């Protein structure tokens, strides 16, 4: 005979820490969640099989309660990444809500990030790097790749996109969200020396964004010489150079520098992800340019990882220039979504800011699934 009361209690126990009447431990009410495995009906396996999908979907207990998302059964690496990524998406959503309600100027947030917060994060993080040949070669290689993908995209997309969209595509395929999106992941996965290697390699994208990328995005309004001069208007470049010098001469910063880095790192991530939401909040009508979007996804999530793996394979077997410290950071660069700063650049130069915002939105949403899977498959974590 089926013990219906035990089956009912087994199912009811999934609600978590609600007190169970008549049961106590040391005089305290016993949580229903503690009966999850205790009251399985032993005489009827059909009930267990019938409700098994629901049990798996709900997962186990976390801190005596119900793990509604099933996090206890997830791979620890994926769980760690999910805990790092979900707050980033929440911040972007918050930026969208605030942008709709308060009409905040995106350019002001971007200026604060570029001129104050970014320089501090880069300088302090790079100062932890053990100076090596890889610290010079890695940014050169990634800068060359960014230039290659940007130019290739421009040449090809001119065949099926209108000129301004083609120039926007050239900028977006040569850059990525290695900072706002990638740095939190790097801090979660890598030891300090790899984090520093990741950030110093990011110099390449900073150079591309403010040199050839700036030329692409301002082609209709500015000449190449003025775009080149823009490189020296941003303090990020100087902060990176100072960080490299501190590392090269083994300058030991006081312990308070770590606290300062933590504070600025948090501000850097929060403001950077809010730019995505703020940019989307300024769009009156959402419209997807499918050829442009397909180009973004193809280059960003297929071509970049393949080329990055080829570079690492060549270095391991023939070149021997980079070293193990730079392999995982390079792979991480190749899988992060489209750069959030593209929204600000497109808005400033009137180069289809809505298309840039939609590209950032969809590549960032796709990255929630793609990045953890890619990290697992590529052995980055």
**What is the rounded CA–CA span in Å between residue 304 and residue 150?**
12
**What is the rounded CA–CA span in Å between residue 340 and residue 89?**
13
By CB atoms closer than 10 A (0-12, 13-18, 19+), residue 350 is exposed
CATH number of the domain at 74-378, please? 1.20.1530.20
Q: Residue 29 is encoded by which pair of tokens? A: 């009410």
By CB atoms closer than 10 A (0-12, 13-18, 19+), residue 280 is buried
Q: Which residue(s) pair with 111 in the sheet?
A: none
**What is the rounded CA–CA span in Å between residue 32 and residue 149?**
57
CATH code 1.20.1530.20 region(s) in the chain? 74-378
Report the C-alpha dihedral over residues 126, 137, 376, 186, rounded to 10 degrees: 10
CA angle 355, 163, 110 (to 5 degrees): 45
> Tens-of-pLDDT digits for all 381 residues of the chain?
444 443 344 333 333 333 333 333 334 333 333 333 333 333 344 443 433 333 333 333 334 444 444 445 556 666 777 777 788 889 989 999 998 888 787 778 877 887 888 888 888 877 876 666 667 888 899 999 999 999 999 999 999 998 889 999 999 999 998 887 888 888 888 888 888 889 888 878 877 887 788 888 877 677 777 767 776 777 877 887 888 788 888 888 888 888 888 888 888 878 888 888 888 887 777 788 899 999 999 999 999 999 999 999 999 999 888 888 899 999 999 999 998 878 877 877 778 888 888 898 899 889 988 998 899 888 887
């Amino acid at each position: 005979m089926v013990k219906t009361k035990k089956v009912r209690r087994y199912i009811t126990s999934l609600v978590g820490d609600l007190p169970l009447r008549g049961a106590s431990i040391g005089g305290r009410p016993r949580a229903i969640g503690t009966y999850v495995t205790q009251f399985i009906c032993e005489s009827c396996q059909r009930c267990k099989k019938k409700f098994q999908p629901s049990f798996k979907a709900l997962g186990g207990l976390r801190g005596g309660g119900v793990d509604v998302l099933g996090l206890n059964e997830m791979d620890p690496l994926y769980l760690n990444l999910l805990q790092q990524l979900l707050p980033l998406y929440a911040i972007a959503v918050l930026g969208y809500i605030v942008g709709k309600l308060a009409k905040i100027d995106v350019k002001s947030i971007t200026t604060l990030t570029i001129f104050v917060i970014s320089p501090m994060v880069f300088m302090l993080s790079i100062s932890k790097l053990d100076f090596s040949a890889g610290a010079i070669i890695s940014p050169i290689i990634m800068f060359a790749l960014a230039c290659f993908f940007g130019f290739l995209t421009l040449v090809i997309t001119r065949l099926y996109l209108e000129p301004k969209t083609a120039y926007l595509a050239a900028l977006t395929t040569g850059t990525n969200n290695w900072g706002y999106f990638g740095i939190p992941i790097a801090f979660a996965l890598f030891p300090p020396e790899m984090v520093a290697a990741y950030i110093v390699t990011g110099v390449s994208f900073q150079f591309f964004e403010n040199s050839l990328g700036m030329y692409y995005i301002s082609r209709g309004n500015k000449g190449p010489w003025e775009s080149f001069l823009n490189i020296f208007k941003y303090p990020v470049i100087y902060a990176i150079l100072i960080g490299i010098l501190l590392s090269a001469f083994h300058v030991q910063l006081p312990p308070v520098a770590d606290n300062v880095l933590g504070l600025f790192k948090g501000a850097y991530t929060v403001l950077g992800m809010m730019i995505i939401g703020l940019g989307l909040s300024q769009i009156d009508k959402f419209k997807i340019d499918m050829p442009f979007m397909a180009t973004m996804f193809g280059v960003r999530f297929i071509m970049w990882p393949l080329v990055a793996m080829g570079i690492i394979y060549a270095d391991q077997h023939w070149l021997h220039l980079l070293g193990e410290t730079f392999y995982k950071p390079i792979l991480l660069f190749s899988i992060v979504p489209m750069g959030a700063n593209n929204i600000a650049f497109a808005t400033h130069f009137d180069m289809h800011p809505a298309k840039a915002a939609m590209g950032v939105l969809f590549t960032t949403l796709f990255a929630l699934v793609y990045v953890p899977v890619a990290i697992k498959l590529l052995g980055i974590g």
